[in-house]
Chain A
């Protein structure tokens, strides 16, 4: 049975093993599901059977030795105990290697890192989550959380937009949410196909489907282009900038606020974010 232990040959001090910010932990693949042509959902468990402790919205560095690491948002809620989910889109060397793994295989995780969704400011209010494309993955950690702790929130509204029906992720979840009384679920695709009966249009077209109270707490995650358009709609509705949270994507190479790649002006997305209140970054020209 392979183990990731540190047999350091003596020279590295115990502190440098225990507190080593680059040393990953092993995680076992409990289940793997091909969700689209490009994406796979992995359900993982830490190999030492300990509980992965994290907040919705935090990131993990996921990788394989010899290939590297990629930053991924945790795609399940900490309220779902024992296991945690990640979604890997095949885009480069590391993600392609990860997507070749099967149930029972092992991969390496490091984290969780960063600041997640500010639950203390979300609780007790209407919650609107707006997820575009792969942005559904990190926000799923909050969606599940809100469903598991439904009483902590007032209205719970979810907008999800995908490029086309084939790109939709978490099909079983979508089927549940469509029927659920706990979430007001609205979905759209940029381009429909003959089987698609739902809304066609960009994600902002969903704003006409329901009424949003100005006091609503809003969480947005999607491709960089989406933020500006969604924020414009929210401003029209009178939602305060301090109550709009953006889950940003950058090249978070190290995840620990050192390597510099994810900087937006003077912020490090991996440690100051990836979730930011819009009011916190609106003056940062490099943010959106």
Chain B
């Protein structure tokens, strides 16, 4: 681990060097309905990088677990895996998203390792960037505080006159060659820590309680049907909360053919446990069974997954407080702080 400093005026050249050498993906602005939003996209112009973003529409997991991914391709009877990892630099990931990436790493790695994810993840260098602007629904400072961001290769923090760059791994160290870095002073390192603390103080929403107390009370509320029915009353079962979630990783698998009727593939796409068909099966002769038929059951399942079910495996809740679901929900009923805070203690 080593700390470095790059001056503001040297930063564009560093980025240019990086873009020339590697595929670089980072936050860029995108205007939607006259509003400035942000997305992770491939960088071609260093000036497009917006490290002052508040939150991106979709989390960076899409770089390793894309919304649509070919698992297999076929050509007649010949079947080929779709794994072709690209060595890329994911630049400017916020710390809460880094926590989420580390969780998806663990979940795709456990039991039967899914190389369709891990091969892409291993090929990447991930640079975290401290939050410079806090999004309106963020609550990352108050959830899962016992779980620290890990799995990143470097951590960049904007301070007066430049950025402190902490190289955490050899992959993070290797990026230094593309820019003009000096050793960071104690004062600069301190300033970086202060910047992180200051951003944390600005989170507009707050989750009450600890991870353990929340897991306990959410689990204990499982049978309180009236509670979940009330929470889910306005749910459209659209799955937007799942789609924007950095820790959601459920998927559907579908086969397809090219028009030649000889070649095609097997592709996975993101799926949402809030949608009606998610747990439905056919029994034959037109009969069906839906194991989570009610909106309230599906809504509850998401909260159990985020606040309780995975805690043991992940060391904390499977929610990082990005606030994307709160903002994406049409009915504005998905906000984890609003829901969890309103569940009474067990």
- A: residues with CB less than 8 A from B are 2-9, 11-13, 15-17, 19-24, 26, 38, 63, 65-69, 89-92, 106, 108, 134, 223-224, 249-251, 253-254, 256-266, 271, 285-286
Contact = CB atoms under 8 A, between A and B. Distances in A.
B116 A22 contact: yes
Interface of B: 71-72, 74, 76-81, 83-84, 107-108, 110-116, 119, 222-223, 249-257, 264, 266, 268, 271, 273, 278-285, 289, 291-292, 297, 301, 304, 308-310
Given A15-B115, A67-B255, A254-B253, A89 B84 contact: no
B78 A7 contact: yes
Nearest to B265: A65
A13 B119 contact: yes
A259 B310 CA distance: 15
A69 B72 CA distance: 12
A22 B279 CA distance: 21
B74 to A, nearest CB: 4
Given A16-B119, A265-B304, A286-B292, A91 B79 contact: no
Nearest to B282: A91
Nearest to B82: A12
A66 B72 CA distance: 10
A224 B289 contact: yes
Nearest to B272: A260
14 contacts: A2-B78, A7-B78, A7-B80, A21-B114, A24-B79, A65-B255, A66-B256, A251-B280, A258-B114, A260-B273, A261-B271, A265-B309, A285-B223, A286-B292
A1 to B, nearest CB: 9
A6 B80 contact: yes
Given A66-B255, A260-B249, 19 more contacts: A6-B81, A7-B80, A12-B83, A13-B83, A17-B81, A20-B81, A21-B112, A21-B115, A23-B79, A65-B74, A66-B264, A68-B253, A250-B281, A256-B114, A257-B110, A257-B111, A258-B108, A260-B273, A266-B310
Nearest to A266: B309
A259 B264 CA distance: 21
B81 A22 contact: yes
B281 A251 contact: yes
Contacts of B223: 285
B111 A9 contact: no
A25 B42 CA distance: 37
B271 A4 contact: no
> What is the interface of chain B mostly: helix, strand, loop, or mixed?
mixed
Contacts of B72: 22-23, 65
Contacts, number: 144
B108 A89 contact: no
Secondary structure type dominating chain A contacts: loop
Nearest to A106: B77
Contacts of B115: 15-16, 19-21
Nearest to B258: A66
A11 B72 CA distance: 14
- Shortest Cβ-Cβ A-B pairs, 6 listed: A2-B77, A260-B250, A266-B309, A256-B112, A65-B74, A91-B282
A260 B77 contact: no
A134 B287 CA distance: 14
Contacts of B80: 6-9, 12
Given A7-B80, A21-B112, A263-B301, A65 B283 contact: no
Given A68-B266, A250-B281, A256 B111 contact: yes
A38 B116 CA distance: 36
A253 B279 CA distance: 10
Given A15-B115, A22-B116, A259-B271, A68 B81 contact: no
Contacts of A23: 72, 79, 81
Contacts of A258: 107-108, 112, 114, 249, 251
Contacts of B268: 259
A65 B252 CA distance: 16
Contacts of A38: 284-285
B264 A65 contact: yes
A112 to B, nearest CB: 12
A25 B1 CA distance: 45
A63 B74 CA distance: 13
A65 B266 contact: yes
B281 to A, nearest CB: 5
B257 A66 contact: yes
Contacts of B108: 258
